[in-house]
Amino acid sequence: MESDLHPISEVNLLVNYANDTNLLVPDNTDVSLDAEFTHKKEWAVKNCVNINLEKTKQLVFHRPHPTKWHVPPLLEGIEQVYTAKLLGVIFQSDFKCVDHVDATLKLCGQRLFLLKQLRDQGMAHGHLHTLFQAVLNRIAHACPAWGPFLNTALSQRINGFFKTILSLWIY
């Protein structure tokens, strides 16, 4: 289903997925974030769609160098956050991916523990392999979105996790 909701400016980007809508407004745009958000709210009223303002968040991406960063005007009544989870990826306002890697490795570590328990209980190798692939897929999920922002320390943590996996699963 395609929506008739579009940004006012061609520079701004509106991304829809299921019932989630994300509005991306760059610093150098001809239509402000406030104007775009007002347009979206007007569209919602016209189309009998409720916008849950309590779930609506504003995430301002900025370069890591704090002296070259200015805070854009905040939307009235909208909470500004420094991280946001979108389709399983945790985005940080400073373009780092520490929170995403931390959460992913924690989840995969828990799943790895369960896999070891299932292996020790005698689960068939084929079934274990399928579940093992799910752990690997979780790490690789949306890697093109966050992978370019890895620093050396995060890469080493992920590689260390892979080494742990290999040492446990080589028969």
Name the residue with tokens 């160098």. 65
CB 61 within 8 A of CB 69: no
* Distance in angstroms (rounded) separating the CA atoms of residues 12 and 29: 7
In this predicted structure, the answer to whether residue 2 has a pLDDT above a threshold of 80 is no
Residue 91 CB coordination number (10 Å)? 21
Burial of 146 (0-12, 13-18, 19+ CB in 10 A): buried
Give the per-residue pLDDT at 1: 45
CB 124 within 8 A of CB 132: no
**Domain residue limits, the chain:** 13-81, 98-169
CB 146 within 8 A of CB 89: yes
Sequential DSSP letters for 107-132 = HHHHHHHHHHHHHHTT--HHHHHHHH
Give the per-residue pLDDT at 71: 67
Instruction: Tell me the mean pLDDT in the region 113-126.
Output: 91
For residue range 61-115, what is the model confidence (pLDDT) as tens digits?
887 666 665 667 788 889 999 999 998 999 999 999 999 999 999 999 999 999 9
